[in-house]
Structure 1
Amino acid sequence: MQVSELLSLFKRVDRSKTFQGFVIFVIVVSALSIGAHTYHLPAWLEQSLLVLDVAITVFFSIELIIRYLASDGAKAFFSKGWNIFDTIIVIGSLVPLGGSTILLARLLRIFRVLRLVSMVPELRMLINALLKAIPRMGYIALLMFVIFYIYGAVGSMLFADINDFLWGDVSIAMLTLFRISTFESWTSIMYETMAVHPLSWLYYLTFIFLTTFVFLNMMVGAVLDVMGEETQIMRDHQAKKQLDETDDAQTAILATADDTALEIQKLHAKIDQLTAMLTANTTKAQR
């Protein structure tokens, strides 16, 4: 088999839905085997899991090699961030399970579950959307920190004498406010201060309204906005891919038609030659 044919085979395998589905199945099996190690298992089952781990590691290495050979060179392969991520995960899995490195090796193998993200386009889209939303979320988080700081300073000034454990200084007060923003027993904190300052409920309600109902919804909106953009990009990419596949199919059909037409022309030429020869032989026979 020639090198070009072998590379073409690797590309077909890499694009195969069956192969991708099997890779996802192996990732799930790898995750289950890692979880099984946390239980107290018989010795024979532990040995079976070790053999399975070696087989999974070998499979991931072969799969990564196939994907590398199916790409258009090292530059094209490593230009994609998910390929770099998968390479790091696979190389980390090559750390042997044994001796002083057994804990490190198992920790590295846990991250093989994250390969599921790189294999499923929808999960990749979610992660890309989350990463692109971080700058927008950062500004919202900065504004939230300002609000937390202002309310923390005010709360420490007003309520430190009531409960020093919750409002002793601005840092502790901000931690208390974070607890309030998650609605974890916040009413007991409010009623404690209302016993001394009856109008302190305004402090809590305005803080909850700003942080929980406004800023957190702004973060959700930022993520959803970026997810909409990523979804459109993914749809455009899929449409372009289908168009390219259609063009390739049409090109192959046209090439086949051209080859067929050329063969027909050759066949007609041979028929003409045979006809001329038969005519010449008939003329000679008549003479």
Structure 2
Amino acid sequence: MNGWSSSSRQNLGLTSLTQRVESSSSKESGVTRLSSLEYSGRVSISGHRQSIEPENVSEREYYDDIPSGTDRERDESVLYLTINGEWQKRRLVLTNGSLLILRRSVVCDQIDLKDIVSIVKLFDTQSDPNSKFRSSFYDSFALRNMNFGFNLVTKASGFNCGRTYSFRVADNDKDLSLWINNLKKLMKLAMRPSVVKRLQTKVKALVNSSPFQQFFAVLIAANYVSNVIQAEMTVDPGSAADSTFNNLDLFFTLIFAVELGLGMFAHWFWAFFSDGWSLFDLVVVGVSLLALAVEGLPGVSFLRLMRVFRVLRIFARLRSLRIIVVSLTASVAPVCNALLVLALVATVYAIMGVLFFAPAAPAHFATFSRSLFTMFTLMTFDHWTETLAEAQPEDDPFAPGAVLFFVSFIVIVCWVLLPVVMAVLLDNFVAASAAEKRKATEEDERRRRRQAGAADSADSESPLWPLLEKLMDCENTRQIEREIQAVFKLLDEEGAGEISAAQ
């Protein structure tokens, strides 16, 4: 469905809830523009659509937050049974993939057509003594004639958690049947995946399977071994050995290109291009294909060096290696802060070395760059005593100034700051590694539950998780209060300023 099949669930998250609450005062540009009639009159039927023939017409224009370009099969004013047992006016928009419920031009709820379990007719709901009716002066008489409707029972494991929705949509059984027939037709289309979608699902299962990943990990290792052997041997151009290695390179490049194509098709689009490992595969394989396809390309010898980096792709196939790389990457930023402190102290000592020891030891302290390199060699304790001897005056081999300079640098930088850098690296590495292992364990648990048939259970993935994750991402109490208030306004359908236990 255009714009609503996958992103609609996120649209019902807290961010969009706040936008919807505020949408009455500021409307987004580019939304669908409709016109409606405030009426006081009778209901008539025109073709397959229910229209209002008003006696006192006051035309106004309004906007709704349905994405522009959405195909609307039906878009009508109906009666909706709230949780409090009160019938209220709503707009019901039927699209190719969902049923949208609008209140004052804002989508307050939606039902995925794939989650509808059954449709049950309702007749003469006006005679129900337990039902109440709430409406404005203009639409009360017209909507009271809608005594024919239906119940929609949703899937317990779906987005609506098994809730039953009741609507009154017509004043006769014929028009009610048209509504239900349209719903059933679109439900069949929504539940019937396309050929491409079915093929994509099968390819995705193949690409994500352990045997597939292990097979290509072996191929990557074999390609690396061939590169090592080629680098070790002295291969003459045009010889049999050179031809063998070229054929091996062609074979590995083509089979890796096939793997890349399968992965791109299985995870198209955002899931592929938002993954760092997938982008790395794309660059390495793409450059290898370019080097093979264009022989006379300038710098082709440099492009062929990318073959060496193919071995790094094995990190994405083996979980243990991937956890190490991801953990090291997550530790880069904190370590850079510690290294910045270390670099500042080293540059200060480098400037002092130029000022104090340039005349006595120009080979080590003549310029700032030489002095900085000398400080780096001192960190490794490489010939630091010889450097100290050259920096001291000939008549005073134990000059207090030179001794204090070198000893203080070794104590501050080598004994204090370098261990701090290592401590920061280890601390962040352990934390990132634990997070990656926890994420891998959760993925294994979800995979195990899917294989055991628990994916359809109500507790396999709660629809409240996006809400809870949004609340956990709040930075302070005030932001949490704003988000909760936005949810409260959405749940308070009657605008009474309170939510009942049933709601």
Cα distance in 1 for partners of 2:438, 2:226 equals 38
Q: In 2 relative to 1, CA 192–106 (structure 1 residues): closer, same or farther, beyond 3 Å?
A: same
Cα distance in 2 for partners of 1:218, 1:69 equals 46
**RMSD over aligned Cα atoms:** 2.5
Partner of 1:44: 240
Cα distance in 2 for partners of 1:247, 1:253 equals 6
8 Å Cα contact 1:28/1:113 also seen in 2: yes
8 Å Cα contact 1:86/1:118 also seen in 2: no
Match of 2:208 among 2, 6, 15: 15
Partner of 1:278: none
Is 1:155 the equivalent of 2:388?
Answer: no
Q: CA deviation at 1:247?
A: 2.3
Q: CA deviation at 1:166?
A: 1.2
Partner of 1:105: 303
Partner of 1:83: 278
Cα distance in 2 for partners of 1:4, 1:150 equals 62
Which deviates further from its counterpart, 81-90 or 189-198? 189-198
Cα distance in 2 for partners of 1:133, 1:231 equals 10
Cα distance in 2 for partners of 1:152, 1:22 equals 53
Cα distance in 2 for partners of 1:128, 1:136 equals 14
Cα distance in 1 for partners of 2:347, 2:451 equals 62
Cα distance in 2 for partners of 1:254, 1:121 equals 28
Partner of 2:52: none
Q: Which amino acid aligns with 2:283?
A: I
- Secondary structure at the residue paired with 1:245? helix
Q: Which amino acid aligns with 1:228?
A: V
Q: Which amino acid aligns with 1:20?
A: Q
Cα distance in 2 for partners of 1:49, 1:37 equals 7
Is 1:56 the equivalent of 2:256?
Answer: no
Cα distance in 2 for partners of 1:197, 1:135 equals 43
Q: In 2 relative to 1, CA 131–56 (structure 1 residues): closer, same or farther, beyond 3 Å?
A: same
8 Å Cα contact 2:335/2:421 also seen in 1: yes
Q: Which amino acid aligns with 1:229?
A: A
Q: Which amino acid aligns with 2:429?
A: M
8 Å Cα contact 1:129/1:223 also seen in 2: no
Match of 2:377 among 179, 182, 188: 179
Cα distance in 1 for partners of 2:214, 2:208 equals 11
- Secondary structure at the residue paired with 1:95? helix
8 Å Cα contact 1:93/1:105 also seen in 2: yes
8 Å Cα contact 1:144/1:211 also seen in 2: yes
Q: Which runs of 5+ in 2 are unaligned?
A: 1-194, 458-503
Partner of 1:251: 453
Q: CA deviation at 1:26?
A: 1.3
Cα distance in 2 for partners of 1:104, 1:193 equals 44
Partner of 2:66: none
Which deviates further from its counterpart, 56-65 or 13-22? 13-22
More strand by share: 2
Cα distance in 2 for partners of 1:204, 1:114 equals 41
Cα distance in 2 for partners of 1:114, 1:20 equals 14
Q: CA deviation at 1:7?
A: 3.5
Q: CA deviation at 1:21?
A: 1.7
Which deviates further from its counterpart, 203-212 or 94-103? 94-103
Match of 2:219 among 26, 37, 40: 26
Partner of 1:214: 416
Aligned-residue identity in percent: 24
More helix by share: 1
Which deviates further from its counterpart, 91-100 or 74-83? 91-100
Q: Which amino acid aligns with 2:209?
A: S
Number of residue equivalences: 253
Q: CA deviation at 1:143?
A: 1.7
Partner of 1:232: 434
Cα distance in 2 for partners of 1:230, 1:122 equals 13
8 Å Cα contact 1:166/1:172 also seen in 2: yes
Q: CA deviation at 1:53?
A: 0.9
Cα distance in 1 for partners of 2:455, 2:372 equals 69
Q: In 2 relative to 1, CA 10–57 (structure 1 residues): closer, same or farther, beyond 3 Å?
A: same
Which deviates further from its counterpart, 119-128 or 39-48? 119-128
Q: CA deviation at 1:252?
A: 6.2
Cα distance in 2 for partners of 1:119, 1:246 equals 20
Cα distance in 1 for partners of 2:224, 2:369 equals 40
Q: In 2 relative to 1, CA 161–251 (structure 1 residues): closer, same or farther, beyond 3 Å?
A: same
Partner of 1:191: 389
Q: Which amino acid aligns with 2:403?
A: W
Q: Which amino acid aligns with 1:23?
A: F
TM-score norm. by structure 2 comes to: 0.46
Which deviates further from its counterpart, 186-195 or 22-31? 186-195
Q: Which amino acid aligns with 1:201?
A: V
Q: CA deviation at 1:226?
A: 1.8
Cα distance in 1 for partners of 2:354, 2:387 equals 13
Partner of 1:205: 407
Q: CA deviation at 1:45?
A: 1.4
Q: CA deviation at 1:134?
A: 2.5
Q: CA deviation at 1:138?
A: 2.4
Q: In 2 relative to 1, CA 161–17 (structure 1 residues): closer, same or farther, beyond 3 Å?
A: same
Q: In 2 relative to 1, CA 251–17 (structure 1 residues): closer, same or farther, beyond 3 Å?
A: closer
Which deviates further from its counterpart, 54-63 or 110-119? 110-119
8 Å Cα contact 2:327/2:436 also seen in 1: no
Q: Which amino acid aligns with 2:251?
A: A
Partner of 1:167: 365
